[in-house]
Structure 1
Amino acid sequence: MKKIVVHVREDGHKQVEDALKGLHYTASLVQDIYQITIYTPGENLDDLIEKIRGALDLEYKENMIEVSSPDFVVSSLLERAEEKAETKEEKTPVEKLLDTIKGYEVLDLGKLALTSIAGVIALTGLVLDNQTIIIGAMLLSPIMGPIYGFAVYAALGMIKNALRCLGVMASLLLGVFILSVVATFLIGLIIPLGLTEEITTRLVLNPIYTLMAVLLGFAAALAFNRGTTEVIAGVAIAATIIPPTVVAGIVLILDPIVLPSAVVLVAGQIVGLMAGILVAVAVLRIEPRDLYDRTVARRYRTWSVVMIIILFTLLLWLTTLMWM
């Protein structure tokens, strides 16, 4: 159940009430501002918000829409409304999605520190041939956020934000790579290092890995959209990207000849994840509310999909070529 409170100027409340015709709501006047309160099943929220936005002039600072989730509401009318809405699929409002991904386009010290620590722990597990340590490192990495943010921003036509998310992701992975190179070099000065089984298994190219990354990206985006926290949804994503990136840094010092295999594997995983997330965004029907913005967003989304398909095809071809 969702509670919607619409704050609207006295000269605009009639249009909002017309948009709510047929629905049960309460309205009160407080200092020349009408407060209209509506309770609705979560499945109807997105459609109802779109109706209200169409009738509400948000150019005025007094006008706003406030959405919250009450602990519970006792009402026979609402119970009947929920029964009618049970067959509808609940759709996450665009505004909530934007609030969820806020900050992913900004590179801050916290993200960089967590990703770097995850890379060091993963390197330790790879060098010690300890899978448990490698898995533990994935709990720290915030790499899922920028990838998911890219897909949502691209779907909404916010291309600058989408590119910033890609920049954050690239910076985080570059940091992990450089840290792995430096750490491997320094450790190698003290103790002899070799390619362990955990390292060599991440140097084997197989087209199936890229295809699995697509499914993984799709599943992670669905989980993220349903309210699963980044730590949970991002563990699988981090496990797909962070260890191969660390391996690329390790082999640059220990065995540079196999570096191309490591780079192609990392690139294939990233592109596969992004392709899967873009598919999930399309399935979830994430798009702007305004008609003009939808047209712009679809154009940018088409460009994004075309670029991903080209990169995906190229990397799949390289992976197949090197695998054979």
Structure 2
Amino acid sequence: MKKIAIHVREDGHKRVIEALEDLYYTISLAGEIYEITVFTPDENLDDLIEKIRSALDLRYNDNMIEVSTPDFVISSLLERAEKKHVEKEEKTPVEKLLDSIRGYAELDLEKLALTSIAGLIALSGLLLDNPVIIIGAMLLSPIIGPIYGFTVYVALGMPRESLRCLGVLAALLLGVFILSAIATFLISTVIPLALTDEIASRLVANPIYTLMAVLLGFAAVLAFNRGTSEVIAGVAIAAAIIPPTVVTGLVLVLEPVSLISSALLVAGQIVGLIAGALVAVTLLKVEPREARDKAIAKRYLIRSVVLIVFLFALLLWLTWLMWR
């Protein structure tokens, strides 16, 4: 159940009331501003916001829509309304999506520190041949954020923000790569290092890894969109991309001849994750509300899909050649 509080000027409240026809609401007047409160099931939220936005002139600063989730509501009228409610697919409002990804296009010290620490822990797990340590490191990494933000911004026709998300992703992975190479070099000056089974398994460019990344990207974005914690949804993403990136930095020091195959694996994972995430936001019907914005967003989405499909096919082909 969601609570929608609508603040509207006196000269526009009648249009809002017409949009709320057949719905139960309360209304109060404070000066020249009406506050209209309406409750709705989560599944109806997106459609109702669409109706309210069409009736509310948001060019005025006094007009606004506030959505919240009450702990509980006791009302016999709402109980009867819920019994009559017809179940339908829930769709997350685009405003909520934008609010949830707002920080993913910004690179800050916290993201860089968490990803770097996750990379160092994964490096220790790889050198110790301990998969438990490797997976445990993934709980720290915020890698899912830039990927999720990129796909949502692309679906909404916001290329500048989507490119910034890619920049954040590139910076985080570059940091992991450089830090892994430096740490491996420093450790190797004190302790002789060998390629463990966990490292060797990430030196083989197998097309199955890329296909797996598509499924992981799809599942993680779908789960994240449905309200799953970023930490939980991001573990699969981080597990798919952080260890191969660490291995790339590691082999740069220990076995440079394997650098190309390990880098190809990382590239395939990144493209696969983004491809799966784009499929997810497409199926979730993430799009702007205005018709003009929808047309622009569709163009950007088509271009992004064509580019990702090209890169995906190219990497699969290169991976197949090396795997054979």
User: For 1:182-214, what per-residue CA distance to the aligned partner results, in whole angstroms no more than 9, with x for missing partners?
Assistant: 111111111111111110001112111111111
CA 1:88–1:80 in structure 2 vs 1: closer, same or farther (change >3 Å)? farther
Q: Which moved more, 1:296-305 or 1:83-92?
A: 83-92
TM-score w.r.t. length of structure 1: 0.98
Give the 5 Å matches for 1:271-282. 271-282=271-282
Say which SS state the counterpart of residue 103 (structure 2) adopts. Answer: coil
TM-score w.r.t. length of structure 2: 0.98
2:168 match: 168
Q: Distance in 2 between matches of 1:113 and 1:161?
A: 22
Give the 5 Å matches for 1:1-324. 1-324=1-324
Say which SS state the counterpart of residue 39 (structure 1) adopts. Answer: strand
User: For 1:41-96, what per-residue CA distance to the aligned partner results, in whole angstroms no more than 9, with x for missing partners?
Assistant: 11100000000000101010000000111111122332233234352111111111
What is the deviation of 1:135? Answer: 1.0
Q: Distance in 1 between matches of 2:182 and 2:26?
A: 64
Structure 2: give runs of 5+ residues left out of the alignment.
Answer: none
* Seq. identity, %: 72
Structure 1 stretches of 4+ with a deviation exceeding 6 A read: none
CA 1:212–1:190 in structure 2 vs 1: closer, same or farther (change >3 Å)? same
Q: Distance in 1 between matches of 2:315 and 2:222?
A: 25
User: For 1:105-164, what per-residue CA distance to the aligned partner results, in whole angstroms no more than 9, with x for missing partners?
Assistant: 000000000000001111111111111111111011000100000000100011111000
Q: Distance in 2 between matches of 1:247 and 1:168?
A: 20
Say which SS state the counterpart of residue 6 (structure 1) adopts. Answer: strand
What is the deviation of 1:27? Answer: 1.2
Q: Distance in 2 between matches of 1:86 and 1:240?
A: 40
What is the deviation of 1:10? Answer: 0.5
Q: Distance in 2 between matches of 1:273 and 1:239?
A: 12
Say which SS state the counterpart of residue 11 (structure 1) adopts. Answer: helix
Q: Which amino acid aligns with 1:235?
A: V
Structure 1: give runs of 5+ residues left out of the alignment.
Answer: none
CA 1:85–1:278 in structure 2 vs 1: closer, same or farther (change >3 Å)? farther
Q: Distance in 2 between matches of 1:319 and 1:102?
A: 35
CA 1:72–1:276 in structure 2 vs 1: closer, same or farther (change >3 Å)? same
Q: Distance in 1 between matches of 2:315 and 2:82?
A: 48
Q: Distance in 1 between matches of 2:176 and 2:246?
A: 7
Judge conservation of contact 1:146–1:168 (CA < 8 Å) in 2: yes
Judge conservation of contact 1:44–1:85 (CA < 8 Å) in 2: no
Q: Which amino acid aligns with 1:217?
A: G
Say which SS state the counterpart of residue 8 (structure 2) adopts. Answer: strand
Q: Distance in 2 between matches of 1:292 and 1:58?
A: 17
Q: Distance in 1 between matches of 2:86 and 2:265?
A: 44
Judge conservation of contact 1:40–1:81 (CA < 8 Å) in 2: no
Q: Distance in 1 between matches of 2:280 and 2:132?
A: 30
Q: Which amino acid aligns with 2:275?
A: A
Q: Distance in 1 between matches of 2:315 and 2:200?
A: 20
Judge conservation of contact 1:43–1:85 (CA < 8 Å) in 2: no
